[in-house]
Structure formats: C-alpha cells, structure tokens
Structure 1
Amino acid sequence: MSMHPIALLICSIFLATLPLPCRGLAAEPASYPRVTVFRNGQDGYKIFRIPAVVKAVNGDLLAFCEAREGGDASKIDLVMKRSTDQGRTWSPLQVVQSADSFVKYFRGDVPPITVGNPAPVVDRLDERHPGRIHLPFTLENDRVFICHSDDHGATWSPPREITSTTKQKEWGWYATGPVHSIQLERGPHRGRLVVPTDHRLGADGADHGPNGVHALLSDDHGETWRIGAIDATYEDGLNANETTVVELNDGRLCFNTRDQNGAAAGTRGVGYSSDGGETFDNSGDRKYRFFVPAPAVLDPPVVQCAMLRAASTLNGDKQNVILFSGPDESGPTGKGRSDLRLRYSLDETRSWQDGPLLHIGPAAYSDLVQLSGTVEPNKASQDNPATDPERNREFGVLFEAGAANEKSYTRIDFLHFRLSDVLDAKQP
C-alpha cells in the first residue's frame, strides 16, 4: 500500500527531527566548556604535543607539553600553563626547560635539541617540602633529568641529571611517561614515587629496536632515583611502550601500556606489580611473561593513553572506579588516532566498559586529573544522585585534538566532566 505524498512528507520531516543515536555524552557539561590550552602556531611555537597534567596542593592545575619547531626530532622546549579556576582559563605560556639551556651537554656541532616526555608527580607526603612537584623528563630521548618546584610550579629548580641510576647501558631510546606519575598512598611503600617509563634496545636515542617498559622509583621524596621493575621480554610479540600506572585497592600496581606492534586482541598490554613497582608479576601466560594483551574494549590505535583512580571503597566511596582515556577506533571517524573516549573499570582493571565519547575528530595523547572532591574518606552517604558528592566529583582530560574536518590534531584542549557523566553514559 502506497502512502499519500503529503503524509510521506510529514513523516519524513518528523523522522528528520529525531535525535541520532550516539555513543556517550550528548553534549559537554554546560557549566564546564572545553578550553583550548595550546594551539599550533601560537605562543611562538609551530606545534604543541605530548600533554601531561597535575593538580598542585594549592588547587592550581598545571598543564605541561612539548613546544616544537617541527616533528619528533626538531628543537623542543618543555612548557607549561597554569589554571587557577579549575581549567576554565589558563595563564600565559611558561618555559619550564629550554632546549637552548642544554647546549652545554653537547660537543661539536649541536643538533636540534629535544627536551620532553613530561611525567609530573605531586608529593603530598613530604613533610620537609609539602606539595613539592617533581618533573622527570628526557633530553634527546636518551638522557634522564628531573627538576622540582616548591611553589606550585611558579619557579623550578635547575635540572639534575639522573641517567646513571635510571638507564641501563644497552638501552637506547628512553622516555619518561609521558603522563602523570603517581605516589603510593598505602602499604609498606607508602610515599614512594613511581614513574612509568619505557626504553628501546639500540643506539642512544635511536627511535627503533625492541621496546620494553620499566619503572623509576624514589623512596626519599625525589632525592635519589633508581630502576625498579623491568620488562625485558623483547621477543614475546608484545612491544610494551608508553605506559600509565594506577594503584589498586589490593596493593598492586596496574601498568597499562601501548603495544607498539598492536598484538591481538588490541593495541594495549597490561601488567601488574605486587611489590610497589620493584618487579612485574609473572602473568601466568605461557606466551607473555609480564604484559598480556589488554581487554578488547580498550581498542585505541597504537597511541599513548592515561589511567586515573576516580573512586575507592577504601576511602568511603560507594564503588571503585578507575578511568581510562584514549582515542576510539570504533568511533564515528573510524580507524586511526581520532574520537577521544573515556572507558572505566568498576572491578579494579579486571574488565572495562565504554564511557562517554568526548570528542569527534583527530585525537591522540591525553592525560587525566581530578579537579574537585577528594579521594580521602567520604563520611557523608547520600542516596540522591543529584547531590551525591561522589557522582558529582569533577575531573579533567587534557588531550591532543583537531576539528572533525582536519586531518590531524592542531591543539591541546582541556575538557571537564563529572563522574556521573561517565557512569551514566548511554551506549547504542
């Protein structure tokens, strides 16, 4: 039976007004719009990449990244911007480490100097220097340095080289983070600083060769640094690379890593440490000794990603929540580095679920930070979701982004969200 033309037109107009299904948030929280923190071609630099973010003890947000004249091997400064209003506005650019200041470390012809791979961590348990911020970074993806700030990032100490205690002779390429590092909050290693780090076998700074992950540890609030756990299983088919770490409620550390080769069933690997990062646990898998392929729901392209503890029953929260940020190859744009999505785990990283899709278009490296609320004991128990302090806890993601009509990422954005946005995200 055919439909009358007028009726068909009315029906078509009605259907056109229906909302299209989407994975994730219908819109960003209205009161916390997205802000562009770094944009290519501004502040005297051609390109900004490799973000990391932490919250200082005074509440300020510090957004770090590499300010480049070109690609990975170009001249690169390590820079920062500050927000004093939870990420709504950001300060002028501040150079934390200038490439030119490292000329003294070279002899003869000086190549374009690269300073980067920020892996900041806030030491909240140092009684002598409360709130000291440690910033591990690399020179030429080869030598390892650290600096610190005792005034919430306003000024920084001169850089101190720690290569001799943090790098093995057979390692060439070397990268700290790039992502926030962590301080252990519980157990026999409480106060330990843990920096997720990766290396490659071969010539100094060479961007090729088998990949491996290791942890940098400090048990004296950053005075000395050493190598802890090492993944040296270079022939098992999982090339562990840029890594993010989170402390679990059972005392273990979970290391989630970029698999440079993209092993099945995805492009991520996961490993654990039961001794505070001293060693990696044996996985029990015959093929993979330490790192095994991560759950398939974690399906970004080969890229850096970030994890962050969002809630813990040990702190009085109603549930355990760990967040994960990274591009989604199942997103609207399709394969490649695009469509930033949050994922979350309610069972301490054993399984993951899709959260909201925050950005459509080019997207790559990212980092996560908690804004409001606390991960300390929450004595108030409220059943009303609208007033539940846990669900209303605020977070931010700092990530490389580009417009949907652009071929690549051209800026670094900061986006607010609440825990309820993640837990209530509707999937198709």
Structure 2
Amino acid sequence: MLRLLLLLLLAGPAFAADPVQTPIFVAGQDGYNTFRIPALIVTPKGTVLAFCEGRKAGRGDAGNIDIVLKRSTDGGKTWGRVEPVWDDGDNTCGNPSPVVDAKTGTVWLLLTHNLGTDTESKIIAGTSQRGRTVWVTRSDDDGVTWAKPTEITKDVKKPEWTWYATGPGVGIQLKSGRLLIPCDYKADKGKVRESHTIYSDDGGKTWQLGGIAGPDANECQAVELADGTVLLNMRTYRTTNRRLVAISKDGGQTFGPTVEDATLIEPACQGSILRLPGAGGGILFSNPASKKREKLTVRLSTDEAKTWASAKELHAGPAAYSCLTVLPNGDIGCLYERGEKNPYETITFATFPRSWLAEKP
C-alpha cells in the first residue's frame, strides 16, 4: 500500500493530452497557391466538414478563388481529398459560411462572389466592373454533392452597400429553429463599416436581412446565450485592439449598442465563438490573442461570455482565422490558419478534450 501511495505521489496530477494538430490544407498543394478562410461544422450524422477558399494565383483576396471542402467520417482522424464546392473559372468565390439545419440534416452554405478582376478596394469604392453578390447552396448528403448556387443578393444586401462578406466562419441554428448567418458590409466608399446578420425561418428556403451592429465593426460570429439572446462578437477597426460585442433580444433582427470586451485582445482579425452543449457547458472563443496575427488562443467562459475563465494557446507562432466546433466524441475541433514564417502556410485541424482548457499552464 505504501509503495502504491508513493507511486501516485511521484506520478503527480493527471493531465489531459496535448492537442493533436494536423495540417489538412497546405499551401502549394492540390493545385492551389494558398488556402484561407476556414469554416468547420459537424453534421447530425457525425461527418466533419472543413471548408476554405482555395486561392490559385496567389495569397491575395482577389483573382481566381474557389470554395473547397474536405470531409472526415471518423471524427477528424482522417480526411478525404480536396473537393471543389464552387469553381467559377477566374472569378472569386469566397467566404464560406455553413450552417446545419438539425431538423432536416441539410447543410446550407452561404457564399459571396465577384469578378476575379474586381479587387476589394474597387468594390468598396464603387468603381468595380460588377458588384459583390451573395449566394447560397445546399447539400442533403453530408457534403458529398452540392446544389447549383442560387443568388440571394436582393434579399440580404441593401443597394447602397458595396463590400459584403458572409462570416467568415459558421452560422448557427437558434432554439426557435431560425438559421442565422453573421455577415458584414461597407458603404459610402468604406466610411461606413458594420456587422449584420441574415436569417431564414423556413429551413433555408428563403433568406432576409437581420440586424446591424456597429460602427467600426467587421467580420463577426454569433452565439445564442442561455436566456435566448444572441451575442454578436465582432472584429473591429478601432485602435484599442479589443473585440466588439452586441446583444440581440429578438433572434438577430435588431442589436443593441456595441461595446468592447476588454479581455479579448485582437490584431484586427476574424475570431470564432461556440456554445458547448449541455447545461453549464460554457462558451469558447478563439483568435490570435495579440496585436499581431500570432498566438492562436482558445478561451473558455463559464458565465455566458461575460468573463473568460481560462485561456490556452494552440500555436505561439503566426496564426490568423479560426473556426471551432464540437466533434462527435465530445472533444473540441479547431480549424485555423497557421504557419512558422507567416500565418497562411497551412490550415491546421486541432483537436483537444474540454479538460485541456481547464488545466493551468
């Protein structure tokens, strides 16, 4: 008995295993120069879908860009090949923002499109050949096949808006069944910069414009709080380098004032927010916790995103956009942009148990 006690004391406390990290999209492979803008979801059948932009000509946001996908049917242990979801020749297909209808199992994918020769600066200034348009496609077989994209621009974009982006990241389904997609727009030659939502109350068949949050807001993600309110977490242009948040009490149709979250430092970059299932499951947030695109960090809140109880670093080096999900076995998955010299060398899939977040560094 004494020997057993000594062994237990020497062994020390039990710790969760370190995250398992696997690069699944690698720059220069599969016919693409760079992969960017990750989005990650799990279907009701347990298939893990990893979306991103496949950029053929270079790292930039314009030019020949496809929406691509990898699927995993074993919880992210192995992945299929890169499959195009939308390839429109030399044009730009971007900002994949998927949402799953848990009732039907349908995966809805919201997207944006513009001519490959129209740069973001031209679109914002209103001098582009054509504008930025909004589209939706769907899959009823866990991402194996996809419907031809349908344009919904007139339903979700005001005429005076120039730039428009869905996500980046994912949409959510509210307890009411509403499908909600976080978005952002620019107007008046970029002087107006705000976040907003679009939503569907008929299972994805039709979409309409929801609430607007700003000013100085950009790419955003949403989470439904325990009391049914929706919290919008936003990238900002403000020099304070802190995330903005706003609350909706009507399912994303209107938002209250934007305020800064003093804890959530950011370098003007996208972030991800996720509610963990179950009572008291908590809320996760991931982003580069720095004034530079580095230090991809996952935080846990146990009080409905009022404070952040713990923070763990997935990668200390260059990192940028990320997307969180709960995997079929209950572990957390994080798909994020990661590199050693710059953040855009890979899109890496990391998995870790919830207990890892509770460990002290």
TM-score category (smaller protein): 0.7 to 0.9
Q: Are 1:34 and 2:21 matched, yes or no?
A: yes
Q: Are 1:194 and 2:171 matched, yes or no?
A: no
Mapping for residues 188-267 of structure 1, pairs under 5 Å: 190-202=176-188, 208-231=190-213, 233-234=214-215, 239-262=216-239, 264=240, 266-267=241-242
For the 8 Å contact 2:300–2:309, the answer to whether it is kept is yes
Offset, 1:272: 0.5
Q: Which residue number in structure 2 is paired with residue 275 of structure 1?
A: 250
Shift in alpha-carbon separation, 1:408–1:394, aligned structure 2, 3 A? closer
Letter in 2 for 1:196: P
For the 8 Å contact 2:35–2:344, the answer to whether it is kept is no
Segments of structure 2 that go 5 or more residues without pairing to the other structure are 1-14, 115-119, 121-131
Superposition TM-score, scaled by structure 1 size:
0.74
Give deviations 1:216-242, integer Å, cap 9, x for gaps: 0100001110001123x54xxxx1100
Q: Which residue number in structure 1 is paired with residue 129 of structure 2?
A: none
Q: Are 1:399 and 2:336 matched, yes or no?
A: yes
Mapping for residues 269-348 of structure 1, pairs under 5 Å: 269-281=244-256, 290-295=257-262, 297-313=263-279, 319-329=280-290, 335-348=291-304
Q: Which residue number in structure 2 is paired with residue 415 of structure 1?
A: 350
2:154 counterpart SS class: helix
Letter in 2 for 1:143: T
Alignment: residue pair count: 329
For the 8 Å contact 1:199–1:213, the answer to whether it is kept is yes
Greater share of residues in strand: 2
User: How many angstroms apart in 2 are the aligned matches of 1:408 and 1:253?
Assistant: 30
Letter in 2 for 1:305: G
Segments of structure 1 that go 5 or more residues without pairing to the other structure are 1-24, 101-111, 282-289, 314-318, 330-334, 374-392
Give deviations 1:306-348, integer Å, cap 9, x for gaps: 00011442xxxxx24100011121xxxxx41011110111100
Offset, 1:407: 3.5
Superposition TM-score, scaled by structure 2 size:
0.88
2:265 counterpart SS class: coil
User: How many angstroms apart in 2 are the aligned matches of 1:372 and 1:261?
Assistant: 38
Q: Are 1:89 and 2:66 matched, yes or no?
A: no
For the 8 Å contact 1:35–1:89, the answer to whether it is kept is no
Which of 151, 157, 170 aligns to 1:161? It is: 151
User: How many angstroms apart in 2 are the aligned matches of 1:123 and 1:96?
Assistant: 19
Give deviations 1:182-210, integer Å, cap 9, x for gaps: 0012xxxx11000001000046xxxx432
For the 8 Å contact 1:267–1:293, the answer to whether it is kept is yes
For the 8 Å contact 1:117–1:175, the answer to whether it is kept is yes
For the 8 Å contact 1:372–1:395, the answer to whether it is kept is no
> How large is the RMSD of aligned CA atoms in angstroms?
1.6
Letter in 2 for 1:222: G
1:298 counterpart SS class: strand
User: How many angstroms apart in 2 are the aligned matches of 1:45 and 1:202?
Assistant: 34
Offset, 1:26: 9.4
Offset, 1:360: 1.8
User: How many angstroms apart in 1 are the aligned matches of 2:28 and 2:342?
Assistant: 16
Letter in 2 for 1:414: F
User: How many angstroms apart in 1 are the aligned matches of 2:242 and 2:29?
Assistant: 33
Letter in 2 for 1:94: E
Instruction: Give the structure with higher Rg (CA).
Output: 1
User: What percentage of residue pairs aligned between the two structures are identical?
Assistant: 43
Q: Are 1:115 and 2:93 matched, yes or no?
A: yes
User: How many angstroms apart in 1 are the aligned matches of 2:344 and 2:55?
Assistant: 14
Give deviations 1:103-161, integer Å, cap 9, x for gaps: xxxxxxxxx41111011001012xxxx20000000002710000000000000001000
For the 8 Å contact 1:145–1:160, the answer to whether it is kept is yes
